[in-house]
Amino acid sequence: MKFILASASERRKELLSRIVRDFEVRVSDFDEDSVQVNNDIEKYVKILSEGKAKSVALNCSKDSIIIGADTIVVIDNKVLGKPKDKNDAFRMLKALSNNVHRVYSGVTVINNTTKAIKSECLYTEVYFSELSDEEIWKYIETEECLDKAGAYGIQGFGGVFVKRINGCYYNVVGLPLNLLNKMIKEIL
């Protein structure tokens, strides 16, 4: 079986390499903006991950396992995507400061031989320290935050803001390894 990751994320590539030695990357052309949240976050991230995986599966050989994932940050029932600019990143980090938020990941695995599809959702609670405006701007200047949901990366400089988590660390990074490993075993 060939494994295919339907994501351009460097973090997901690095994490998947801990489970699957040999895989290729194919970026999905799924239109994420076509999906509305409608107050069901778990369903929303599963639809996104499934859309990405199905989009890539259409152009893969039968002997393929396709993995799609999507990760979002939610605080006070509001989804924080990737910031549009540095001011948007500041707004997000200010909202996360001295607060608790959830990081949700939808993961979909498709067996192109059997046409079996498994989609799961997982969330992790993340507790942030209180951040001064100066700390936030210093972090924003690293530009690490600009391509990450919620405007921070727990695996990078942003990890210093995290007091504790309740749940899967790798979920916050972008790919819940334990869940994905279980799903792959089930679908093979």
Residue 70 in contact with residue 48, Cβ under 8 Å? yes
pLDDT averaged over the chain? Answer: 96
| Tokens describing residue 83 | 């910031």
Catalytic residue among 22, 31, 40, 70: 70
Whether the predicted pLDDT of 32 surpasses 90: no
Which residue type is seen at 51?
A: G
Per the structure, the complete domain to which residue 181 belongs is given by 2-187
The pLDDT score that the predictor gives to residue 43 is 95
Q: In terms of pTM, does the model score above 0.75? A: yes
Q: Map residue 122 onto helix, strand or coil.
A: strand
**Half-sphere exposure (Cβ direction) of 21: Cα atoms closer than 13 Å:** 1
pLDDT at 38 over 90: no
Are 121 and 171 within 8 A, CB to CB? no
Q: Is 70 a catalytic site residue? A: yes
Q: Mind listing the pLDDT tens digit for each residue in 149-171? A: 999 999 999 999 999 999 999 99
pLDDT in tens, 42-78: 999 999 999 999 999 999 999 999 999 999 999 998 9
pLDDT at position 39 is 83
User: What confidence tens digit (pLDDT) does each residue in 88-111 have?
Assistant: 999 999 999 999 999 999 999 999
* CATH number of the domain enclosing 63: 3.90.950.10
CA 148 – CA 169 distance, rounded (Å)? 15
Average pLDDT over residues 72-87: 94
Number of domains composing the chain:
1
Please tell me the distance from the alpha carbon of residue 56 to that of residue 49, in angstroms, as a whole number. 11
CA-to-CA distance for 41 and 106, rounded, in angstroms? 10
